Each structure stands twice: as structure tokens, then as C-alpha cells.
Amino acid sequence: MSQFADPSVWQSWMKMPDMAAPPAANQIAGLLKDYGAAIAPARLEEFRNDYLQKAARLWQDFMSGKTPELHDRRFSGSEWQSNPMSAFTAASYLLNAEFMMALADAVDATPRDRQKIRFAVQQMVDAMSPANFFATNPEAQRHMLESKGESLTKGLANMLNDLQKGRISQSDESAFEVGRNVGTSPGEVVFENELFQLIQYAPTTPQVRAVPLLMIPPCINKFYILDLQPENSLVRYVVEQGNTVLMVSWRNPDKSMANVSWDDYVERGAIQAIEVARELSGQDKVHVFGFCVGGTIAATALAVLAARGQQPAASLSLLTTLLDFSDTGVLEVFVDEAQVVLREQTLGRGGIMPGRDLATTFSALRPNDLVWNYVQHNYLKGKEPPAFDLLYWNADSTNLPGPMFCWYLRNTYLENKLKQPGRVTVCGQPVDLGKIAAPVFLYGSREDHIVPWEAAFASMSLLNPKNAKANKFVLGASGHIAGVINPASKNKRSYWVNDKNGKARPRTAAAWFEGATEHKGSWWPEWAAFLAEHGGEQVAAPSSAGNDKYKPIEPAPGRFVKVRADA
């Protein structure tokens, strides 16, 4: 094995006039040195020869006046093709990017280190796109000429405004207001404590199923992703299907919550919400729903209750949720022993993890879509971002209590203890997910970069391990959010089910997918049918929210969800 080539060697590879060495050579060499990584000399020579051949061909085409084809949406504007120098610059960049990523993939290192190296190289590659710089972006230059410089003035103003906010504007935030045109499903807050408010939504059908549905969203985001606008509200949909729906609205933590723990989120959060839902409905059991981290909290809470001899779930629905953290996708690059120890030292004994930092981390997972796209649009071209409800929600960050955040990082992402029966204790009880006695609906998104769908599928073997018929898995198209928020009324995208779910449990995600059937449209009706199957008899819809013990406090969506992390 050989260490990554010295940058001076890279220069010697470039035989064509004006052809620069692959960008960021020093940084990549430093990365490999830091990780003690290497590339086999034979592979390095193979990449070198391939690169030189393609570079020579590109240079010859340029000299002969042939414009290169650009198969990348960043360079889809007509300005890139109409300007030979811009087309050549973009093509050179794409060639260098291809070469650098190939090298990152060929590194001889542990899977975790290779993932980190690849992520770092990808960040550098994306940042160096000629579309990100005014001097090399012909679209931005055209806007400047056509506006007589106004686009540059406006772009500078947009950048200064974002610097004051501490984040890039992805949507016209003045177009939305929580409770006015997002998070608008009618209902009442019927309970609150220092961690959450509980919303009971108004029924829209004369009868409802006896078993209520308790929705536990992620505490890392605001709940109204599930209730954006009427046409794409999952809340509204399940209410219209004849369910009594209750929603946990987590408080946006401030300094007063600096010592709140994971146990608190489970005991005073999920378990408390389950108890209130039972008392409100008069039912022994409730449907329990969890989305992303909310699903991890919900499943942990039910395991704690099972250890106490209680089984309050009529069913458990988990959307894009990790219980087995063996495969955490690209997020793995942010979690290792050194990083977790650093967080524990700074936040573990008290403090607040800023929502802004969390948002920056998630944006880094898709930099072209969530960072550089807006640099080009807002700053280089001086345009205003369009009004988009999902991106407005994406910018509405939430903080996290330090002790809770540190416990979550170490015990799940780093040490993967939840999947091992009795390995971790929560609320004084050993957690065994296999002790939860409830039928389970699991959903994963095929293009999810936060919870890989195979990792979501892994919960199939953790829940009801001896009863294959009790679990149903559905795979949706698209990503972590867009796959979930796929309204049934729009009949878009598709989803997969495996009709053999109740006969023989496939051992792997690949085996499940091999036997799955694709269906056009939304997966929501599949979930509605699951809830109906386990929802009990039809009863008269409640005429008002709450009861004698839990009286309405304020209209939905409540005040907790309106508190901003950057306020």
C-alpha cells in the first residue's frame, strides 16, 4: 500500500495547458494521513491513466471548438452551454470531482473511516463547484448585466440579512405563520407540563373508532411537519379517517431545561402522554405513533412500561425510526468516541444543544440542495427564496437539553444498546423492545439519508420477535420527509409492500424487497387500514375536547410550538 500521492505528483500528471491539478489535493492528502489511510499503487495508477485520458479528450474538444455535454442540473442553464469557457470550466470541474470521489471510494480504511473521508471529500467537491462563485457562474453574470448591477446589490443585502440570522434563508419566511397557514388543524391543548403540550384534534366524522391515536413527533423538530397545510396534513388525513387524534407538541428547550434527561423525555414525556390519552378516551389501550426520534422515544417508553407489567398500546406505528443503530447512514460521520466525549464534557452535566447547530449538521448532509443552491439563488443572483411550507418548517429549529442529547448519542448512535435486551436501563427499568406486545406498522423511505430504509426495516426483528404476523413493513419512495408527507389525495410517487409479511418474515431487507410489490400513489391508505383493523368499535365522536379532569387550555396548535430557537 502507498500513502496518497503528494500534490506535486498530481501536478506532474497534468500535461494539458491550463489544466489545473485536481482541487484540494493538499486537503485530501492530509485527510488520508490523519486516518492512516492508503490507496493501492495499482489503483492509483489506474485512476491516473483514466484521468489523463479524459482530461486530454476534454482539452482536445475545447481546442477544436466542441462544447462538452454537461449532465448535471447545477449546469443545466443555457448560459453554461452557450459560453464555451463556462462549459469547459464546468466539465473540468465534473471530471476532477469524479476523480476525487473515485479516490475516496478506493481508500483502504475501516468502513467508518472511509465514510468520513468520503463525506469530507464530498463537502470539498460540492463547495468548489464553479456555480458557487460569481466569477465562474455565467447565469449570475447575466443577471447582473440585465439588472444593471441591482442583482449584486440585492444579493449582498440577502447575504447580510442571513448573517444576522445565522443561517441561510431557504424559504420566504414572511409567507407563513404557525397557526395561521401551517399547523392549522382545529383542536385544543388539553394537557401540558414542563416538557410538552398535548393537542386533541376536533373530529370531522360523526363516529370515530374507540381507540385513540397518540402521535409522538421528533423532539428535534416541530410537530407541524405532520400538519403543514390542509392538502398535505397527515393529521387531517387520519382525523378524516375516523380517528380521535392526539399530538405531543414538545417544548423548545431553554436554559430552564438544561438538566433534562432522556429518562425525562420517556417518563414525563411519552409515558405521561400515553396515560393522559387513556384517561381522555376511557380506553385501556391507545394507538402509539412515533416519527424519527419520536419513534425511538415511543418504543423506549413502551418497553419501560412492559418491564413494569403494562401493555397500553393497541398498536405501534414507527415512521423512519431507528431502534437498531448498526447502520446510521451518513450521520455516522458525526459520531465517534472523541466527538461524543467532547459533547459530554460540554453539555452532559447541563446545557443546551442549539437548534442552529443541529440544523447546520442536517444541511451538511445535502449541501447542494440545502446550502449551495441558495448561495447561488439568493446571493449570486440576488433573488428572493420562494414560499415553501416544508422549508419554512425546516428552518424552524428546536434546541435539545444537553444531558438528553448526550445520552442519546452515546447509547444509540455510538454504542447501539437499545437493540440488545437488558443492555440499557431507562427510568429504572431494563429495556427489552421484544417485550412490547402490540401489532407494529413500520415505514421506511427508500431514499432516506438520515434513516436508511434497511435500518428502519431492522426493527422487524426487534419487535414481536416470535410473531411474524404482528408486524407490517411499508417502503415509500423519496426521502426522510418527502416520503412521509405524501398526501393520498395527490396520488404521487409509489410504495412497496410484501404480501408475505404475515406468512414468513424475510430475514433481510434485501429479501423483503425481492418479494415486494410496487404500488402507485401514497402509502397513507395502508396505514389507515392498519389503524382501522386494530381500532376497536365505532363510537360517537366526542362533542368537545378534554374531560372533567383535562379541560381545554388553549386552541391548537398551542404556544409551545410557536417558540423559536433563534428568538
pLDDT at site 6: 40
Decide if pLDDT at 345 tops 50: yes
Decide if pLDDT at 165 tops 80: yes
Measured between alpha carbons, how far is 337 from 480 in angstroms, rounded to an integer?
Answer: 26
Report the SS3 class of residue 216.
strand
pLDDT at site 281: 95
All residues at 6 or more sequence positions from 312 whose CB lies less than 8 Å from its CB, including other chains? 274, 275, 278, 284, 285, 286, 288, 302, 305
What distance lies between CA 507 and its chain's CA centroid?
26
Q: What stretch of H or E contains 199? A: strand 196-201
What distance lies between CA 437 and its chain's CA centroid?
29
pLDDT at site 253: 97
Q: State what percent of residues in the chain have pLDDT above 70.
A: 93
In the chain, what are the domain boundaries?
7-135, 187-354+399-471+525-562
pLDDT at site 524: 98
User: Within 13 A of 551's CA, how many CA atoms are on the CB side?
Assistant: 1
- Per-residue buried b or exposed e for 425-456, using 16+ beta carbons within 10 Å of the residue's own CB: ebbebebbbebbebbbbbbbbbebebbbbbbb
Measured between alpha carbons, how far is 456 from 264 in angstroms, rounded to an integer?
Answer: 25
Measured between alpha carbons, how far is 247 from 186 in angstroms, rounded to an integer?
Answer: 12
* Confidence band of 266 (pLDDT split at 50, 70, 90): very high
All residues at 6 or more sequence positions from 206 whose CB lies less than 8 Å from its CB, including other chains? 540, 541
Are 175 and 387 in contact, with CB atoms under 8 Å apart? yes
* Confidence band of 431 (pLDDT split at 50, 70, 90): very high
pLDDT at site 503: 60
* Confidence band of 469 (pLDDT split at 50, 70, 90): confident
Mean local confidence (pLDDT), 45-67: 91
* Confidence band of 15 (pLDDT split at 50, 70, 90): very low
pLDDT at site 363: 87
Which sign, positive or negative, has the C-alpha torsion 262, 263, 268, 272?
A: positive
Decide if pLDDT at 8 tops 70: no
Distances, alpha carbon 547 to alpha carbons 188, 190, 213, 553, in Å: 12, 9, 17, 12
Are 29 and 5 in contact, with CB atoms under 8 Å apart? yes
Are 168 and 394 in contact, with CB atoms under 8 Å apart? no
pLDDT at site 162: 92
pLDDT at site 45: 86
Top CATH class, 187-354+399-471+525-562:
alpha beta
**Per-chain mean pLDDT for the chain:** 91
Q: According to DSSP H, which parts of 316-354 are helical? A: 337-347
Grid coordinates given for 308: 413494569
All residues at 6 or more sequence positions from 548 whose CB lies less than 8 Å from its CB, including other chains? none
User: Within 13 A of 300's CA, how many CA atoms are on the CB side?
Assistant: 32
pLDDT tens digits, 112-126: 888 888 999 999 999
- For the question of residue 292 being annotated catalytic, the response is yes
pLDDT at site 24: 53
What distance lies between CA 230 and its chain's CA centroid?
22
Decide if pLDDT at 42 tops 90: no
Are 566 and 355 in contact, with CB atoms under 8 Å apart? yes
pLDDT at site 111: 83
pLDDT at site 39: 80
Measured between alpha carbons, how far is 549 from 554 in angstroms, rounded to an integer?
Answer: 15
Decide if pLDDT at 482 tops 50: yes
Decide if pLDDT at 7 tops 50: no
Decide if pLDDT at 16 tops 50: no
Measured between alpha carbons, how far is 256 from 516 in angstroms, rounded to an integer?
Answer: 49
pLDDT tens digits, 79-112: 999 999 999 999 999 999 999 899 888 888 888 8
With both helix axes pointing from N to C terminus, report the angle between 84-105 and 25-34 in degrees, rounded to the nearest 10: 10
List own/partner pairs for 111-116 with CB under 8 A and 24 or more apart: 112/332, 112/336, 113/35, 113/37, 114/37, 115/330, 115/332, 115/333, 116/35, 116/332, 116/333
Grid coordinates given for 138: 455565467
Decide if pLDDT at 13 tops 90: no
pLDDT at site 330: 85
pLDDT tens digits, 501-555: 556 778 899 999 999 999 999 999 999 999 999 999 999 999 999 999 999 999 9
pLDDT tens digits, 205-229: 999 999 999 999 999 999 999 999 9
pLDDT tens digits, 439-448: 999 999 999 9
Q: How many CB atoms lie within 10 A of CB 279?
A: 13
Grid coordinates given for 436: 412490547
